[in-house]
Amino acid sequence: MEVRVRYAPSPTGNQHIGGVRTALFNYLFARSTGGKFILRLEDTDRSRYAEEYVGNLYDTFKWLGFYWDEGPDIGGPSGPYIQSERFDSYREHAKRLIAAGGAYYCFCDEDRLAKMRAAQAEGKTEEQGYDRHCRNIPAAEAAARVASGEKAVIRLKIPLEGSTAFHDLLLGDIEWKNEDVSPDPVLLKSDGFPTYHLANVVDDHLMRITHVMRAQEWLPSAPMHMIMYAAFGWEPPLLCHLPMVLGQDGHKLSKRHGATSVNEFRKAGYLPEALINYVAHLGCSYEDGRDLFPLADLEKLFRVERINKAPAIFDYQKLEWYNGQYIRQKSDKELCDLVMPHLLESGLFAGADGPGVRTLLEAAMPLVRERLHFLADAPAMLGYLIQEPPTAPPGEFIPKKLDAARAAAMLDAAAALLPKCDLGDVPAAEILFRSEAERLGAKLGDLLLPLRVAVTGSRVSPPLFESMALLGLRRCLERIARARAVLG
């Protein structure tokens, strides 16, 4: 049997970490078994549907670097892969269920249903949900009423007694009392639109889905789907309900914990390799003693047996660590290519010489590689190389326990010493400055702090001597002169 799994998002929002985790586990399972990974767009919720979310879906997975074998954009033998293009099939199968005795027409209008719900709420009755008012209307009478033009929905007949049992690959054997299943849910609305449950089951069957891997929040719908499969006389796919992804506070991951959409992580400067590696470990293990896995290795090592039952805790600090590890693996050219969009967006290149700046930035990558946690940090770290930094206020130049006059003297000493330095020989330059600090009766840091602020505009910067080598003597002396004027 060929394994066939699917990711079936609803295009009602941008892709988020929970959805990406579901898609990634399905993809890895397909690759580890030699199966197929399918994308299906479940776009029946037209009130929240937007074409931009479809674009975001495609763009997200192209950026992440893993893709489906069949889908709306690439086709395949089981299309169409968009539910709104499959409505005729849903209507046909809903009527087939009626003929088999597994479903029925319901003529209750919204007014009656609203009164029913109000009465249940007021009376606090044990039975909540549809009261099965139309369940026992003779089939011939119901068909005649529909033929005459009376509006009706089609509801699934949930067995009134007994229980529904199924096996979950992760959670084991599960049994659900039928009295606890949502009573006779709607399968087909009066306007001909299917509900999620009908479309989901019909599509999984027709697309020959063998395994359904989805979040545990969908577990309550599983008994209803098993009942529907039985009513159709179909073999259901194997189920695997993945552990939830929670924030550090134990609640479902949401915006209050930080970024959750892939767009947010991407804009902040995370690398796709870091996201894939971290998300792949949310509730699953691979090889002991190893943290970083190329996607090809994850494809080989993934096993359902290695998925944890317990919820996964999303740790932003751990993800940041992954990001830093992958940043440090990049060559100067690769890293420069990655930070360039963030530098361009920051506006640093206004009036700057493009090719020359590119050469300068690539040479600066070794200075920031170990310091970058996110690609979006690059503009703040490298801006002083591209544009003249704003001159800092006087207080920034003054080392601890010194005054403005002493800081000015330090700048004068640095300005006099720099022309004697070979800035390309950092160890030799450091020796000269250390010797000068001793002559002045000062600490090396007291001599370098005013110089660092003058040259980079900040007390915290990439390595100072390497930065001055990139800027050149003339630009360094010009900045020292401006800083000296501020100190008076």
* Under 8 Å between Cβ of 450 and 397: yes
CA 167 remoteness from chain centre: 30
Distance, CA of 291 to CA of 131 (rounded, Å): 54
Distance, CA of 445 to CA of 192 (rounded, Å): 76
Residue in 115, 255, 318, 333 annotated catalytic: 255
CA dihedral sign of residues 300, 302, 305, 306: positive
Dihedral pair phi/psi, residue 258, rounded to 5°: 135, -160
Distance, CA of 92 to CA of 103 (rounded, Å): 13
CA distances from 372 to 70, 246, 326 (A): 38, 27, 10
* Polymer length in residues for the chain: 488
* Under 8 Å between Cβ of 66 and 295: yes
Among the listed residues 291, 174, 293, the one whose alpha carbon sits nearest the alpha carbon of residue 222: 174
Q: Would residue 255 show up in a list of annotated catalytic residues for this protein?
A: yes
* Under 8 Å between Cβ of 156 and 231: yes
DSSP code string of 216-261? GGGGGGHHHHHHHHHHHTPPPPEEEEEPPEE-TTSSBP-GGGS--B
Bridge partners of 307? Answer: 284
Name the strand (E) or helix (H) holding 188. strand 186-188
Among the listed residues 8, 71, 466, 472, the one whose alpha carbon sits nearest the alpha carbon of residue 237: 8
Q: Which residues contact 172 (CB under 8 A, 6 or more apart)?
A: none
* Under 8 Å between Cβ of 257 and 314: yes
Name the strand (E) or helix (H) holding 104. strand 103-106
Cis peptide before 72 (omega within 30 of 0): no
Distance, CA of 471 to CA of 479 (rounded, Å): 11
Distance, CA of 182 to CA of 221 (rounded, Å): 9
Structure tokens at 35: 């199966």
* Nearest-10 crossing angle of helices 354-368, 464-471: 170
Among the listed residues 279, 383, 382, the one whose alpha carbon sits nearest the alpha carbon of residue 323: 279
* Under 8 Å between Cβ of 476 and 418: yes
* Under 8 Å between Cβ of 64 and 31: no
Give the residue numbers annotated as catalytic, written as ranges: 255
